[in-house]
C-alpha cells in the first residue's frame, strides 16, 4: 500500500487534462469585519470567531429506561455551548504560492442537566478549554504551470482529515465527557495530521497520515491515500486505501478499502430533461484484519430526485445503509443532516454505525430562500440480532423534522423535533418500550 498510493496519485496527475491558467483573482473587498490586514496581492490576517448554543429537551429517554441505561441518572433538558476564537492568515509568494496557517481555541460547556448520552453523568456541569486547530501549510499557486492553480497543497498540524460524505473520515477528535458539548462536538481535529493534496483538472487526491485524539488511553494511527475523478457536475468516482495501527486489538493492523461514487445518469447521457435531476450515489467499505479476525463490511446506496421547477423545490431521497457486526465506523461524522449520524435520537445517542441496517426516506423543501425544511423517516434493524444478544432484528423507527433558518451569512437558527418508536430489538436490549422524543433549538454564528 505504501507504494501503490504514490503511484496512483502520480499517474492521476499525468492523466489529468492540462488546465488553463486561472484569471487573476478579484481584489478582496475586505467584507469580513474581523480582517485587520489585507494586501493587494491577496495576503491577509484576520481573527475568526464561532459560537454554537443549543438547548435540548427529551422525554422518555432511552425508551423510558434512562435510569437503567445511565445507572440511576435521568435525562430531561440540558444546554451545550461552544465558543471558537481564532486567528488565520495567508502570505502570497511568487507564482501565487501561498503560505497559510490557522489556530483556534474551543471553550466547550455542558450545563443544566445530563446529556442523553450520559457523558456528563458523573460530573454534572462541565467546561473544557483547549486548542482545536493549529496547522500550517503551503499551496503551489501557478508554480507547476499547466497542471493548474494550487496543484499541490501540503499541510501539517492539528487539523481534520475528511473524505467524501464523511462515511469513514470526517472527525478525528472526540467530544463529550470531560471535554463537554457531546452533541455539538467541539473537539474534531486529530492530534496531528500530515496531508498532501493534489488537484489538476478533473483529478484530485490526497496522501494522509494522522493520529486521532481519543479521550481514553487507546490511540489510533491511519495512513493512506484518496483519489477522486469528477466528470463535470454529473458524475464522480473516488476511493481510499488506508492502513490502521491502534492500541485497540480489533482495529490494529486493519486494512481499509473504500470505493464511492455518484452520478446523474440522464444528465451525463443527455437524456430526457425531466429525468436529468435523478441522482444515484453509493459507497462500499471493506475492512480486512489479520490474526484470524473477521473482515468488516459497510455500504450504502441512495437515489434522489429534485423537482427544481416546482414551488419549494422539493427533493426526495431514499437511502439504504448496511453495517455488519464486524464493521468499525472509524472516524465518521456529521456532514449533513442524516450523514452520518443516522437519526437525531438513534444515531446520536443510541447506536453507532455497526451491526445496523437502515432505511432512510428524506424530503427536503425550501419554502423561502433563507428557510430549509427536512423531514426524515428511518427504519432501523439489527444486522445480526444474535450478535447483540437479542432475537428480533426490528430495532426502532424514527421521525425527524428539522428547520434551518439562515438569517444572514453569519447567523443560522435550527429547530429540531424527533420521535423514536422502539421495536422488539431495542426493548430487549435496553429494557424500555416507551416512545423517545427529543427537541432542540440551536443558534450558530460564524465569522
Please tell me the predicted confidence (pLDDT) of residue 18. Answer: 36
Residue 10 parent element (H or E):
helix 4-15
Calculate what percentage of the chain has a pLDDT beyond 90: 89
* pTM, entire model: 0.91
Distance CA 162, CA 194 (A): 12
pLDDT in tens, 180-199: 999 999 889 999 999 999 99
pLDDT in tens, 376-424: 999 999 999 999 999 999 999 999 999 999 999 999 999 999 999 999 9
Distance CA 183, CA 444 (A): 13
Contacts of 103 (CB under 8 A, 6+ apart): 86, 87, 88, 131, 133, 134
Segments of 293-434 assigned E as strands: 296-306, 315-323, 356-368, 371-382, 394-406, 411-422
| pLDDT exceeds cutoff 50 at 374 | yes
Please tell me the predicted confidence (pLDDT) of residue 31. Answer: 64
Please tell me the predicted confidence (pLDDT) of residue 238. Answer: 96
| pLDDT exceeds cutoff 90 at 32 | no
pLDDT in tens, 132-165: 999 999 999 999 988 999 999 999 999 999 998 9
Q: What is the mean pLDDT of residues 9-23?
A: 38
Backbone angles phi, psi at 346, to 5 degrees: -60, -50
> What average pLDDT does the chain have?
92
DSSP 346: I
Short-list 447, 439, 446, 405, CA closest to 54: 439
Q: How far are the Cα atoms of 63, 254, 313 from residue 421, in angstroms, in the given order?
A: 8, 36, 30
pLDDT in tens, 75-87: 999 999 999 999 9
How confident is residue 5, by pLDDT bands cut at 50, 70 and 90? low
How confident is residue 365, by pLDDT bands cut at 50, 70 and 90? very high
SS3 state at 388: helix
Q: What is the mean pLDDT of residues 347-357?
A: 97
| pLDDT exceeds cutoff 50 at 22 | no
Please tell me the predicted confidence (pLDDT) of residue 357. Answer: 98
pLDDT in tens, 261-301: 999 999 998 999 999 999 999 999 999 998 889 999 999 99
How many Cβ atoms from other residues are within 10 Å of residue 367's Cβ?
12
pLDDT in tens, 218-273: 999 999 999 999 988 899 999 999 999 999 999 999 999 999 999 999 999 899 99
Domains of the chain (ranges, CATH numbers): 4-446 (2.40.160.100)
SS3 state at 97: coil
How confident is residue 213, by pLDDT bands cut at 50, 70 and 90? very high
Please tell me the predicted confidence (pLDDT) of residue 216. Answer: 85
CB 383 within 8 A of CB 417: no
Amino acid at each position: 500500500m505504501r507504494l501503490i498510493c504514490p503511484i496512483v496519485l502520480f499517474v492521476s496527475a499525468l492523466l489529468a487534462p492540462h488546465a488553463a491558467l486561472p484569471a487573476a483573482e478579484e481584489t478582496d473587498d475586505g467584507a469580513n469585519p474581523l480582517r485587520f490586514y489585507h494586501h493587494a496581492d491577496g495576503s491577509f490576517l484576520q481573527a475568526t470567531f464561532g459560537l454554537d448554543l443549543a438547548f435540548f429537551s427529551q422525554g422518555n429517554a432511552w425508551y423510558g429506561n434512562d435510569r437503567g441505561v445511565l445507572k440511576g441518572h435521568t435525562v430531561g433538558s440540558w444546554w451545550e455551548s461552544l465558543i471558537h476564537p481564532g486567528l488565520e492568515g495567508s502570505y502570497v509568494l511568487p507564482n501565487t504560492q501561498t503560505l497559510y496557517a490557522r489556530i483556534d481555541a474551543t471553550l466547550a460547556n455542558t450545563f443544566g442537566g445530563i446529556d442523553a448520552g450520559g457523558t456528563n453523568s458523573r460530573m454534572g456541569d462541565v467546561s473544557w478549554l483547549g486548542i482545536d486547530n493549529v496547522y500550517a501549510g503551503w499551496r503551489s499557486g501557478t508554480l507547476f504551470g499547466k497542471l493548474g492553480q494550487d496543484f499541490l497543497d501540503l499541510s501539517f498540524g492539528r487539523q481534520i482529515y475528511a473524505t467524501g460524505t464523511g462515511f469513514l473520515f470526517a472527525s478525528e477528535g472526540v467530544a463529550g465527557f470531560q471535554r463537554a458539548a457531546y452533541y455539538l462536538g467541539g473537539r474534531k481535529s486529530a492530534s496531528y495530521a500530515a496531508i498532501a493534496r493534489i488537484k489538476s483538472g478533473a483529478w484530485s487526491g490526497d496522501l494522509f497520515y494522522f493520529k486521532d485524539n481519543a479521550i481514553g488511553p487507546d490511540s489510533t494511527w491511519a495512513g493512506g491515500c484518496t483519489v477522486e475523478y469528477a466528470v463535470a457536475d454529473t458524475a464522480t468516482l473516488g476511493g481510499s486505501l488506508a492502513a490502521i495501527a491502534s492500541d485497540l486489538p480489533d482495529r490494529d493492523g486493519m486494512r481499509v478499502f473504500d470505493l464511492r461514487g455518484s452520478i446523474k445518469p440522464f444528465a451525463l447521457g443527455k437524456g430526457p430533461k425531466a429525468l436529468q435531476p435523478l441522482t444515484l450515489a453509493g459507497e462500499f467499505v471493506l475492512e480486512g484484519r489479520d490474526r484470524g479476525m473477521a473482515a468488516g463490511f459497510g455500504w450504502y446506496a441512495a437515489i434522489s430526485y429534485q423537482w427544481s421547477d416546482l414551488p419549494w423545490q422539493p427533493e426526495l431521497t431514499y437511502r439504504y445503509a448496511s453495517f455488519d457486526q464486524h464493521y468499525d465506523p472509524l472516524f465518521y461524522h456529521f456532514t449533513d443532516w442524516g450523514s452520518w449520524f443516522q437519526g437525531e435520537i438513534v444515531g446520536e445517542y443510541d447506536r453507532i454505525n455497526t451491526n445496523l441496517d437502515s432505511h432512510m426516506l428524506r424530503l427536503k423543501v425550501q419554502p423561502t430562500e433563507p428557510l430549509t425544511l427536512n423531514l426524515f423517516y428511518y427504519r432501523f434493524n439489527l444486522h445480526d440480532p444474535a450478535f447483540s444478544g437479542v432475537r428480533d432484528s426490528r430495532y426502532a423507527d424514527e421521525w425527524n423534522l428539522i428547520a434551518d433558518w439562515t438569517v444572514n451569512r453569519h447567523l443560522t437558527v435550527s429547530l429540531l423535533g424527533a420521535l423514536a418508536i422502539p421495536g422488539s430489538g431495542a426493548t430487549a436490549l435496553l429494557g424500555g418500550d416507551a416512545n423517545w422524543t427529543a427537541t432542540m433549538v440551536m443558534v450558530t454564528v460564524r465569522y
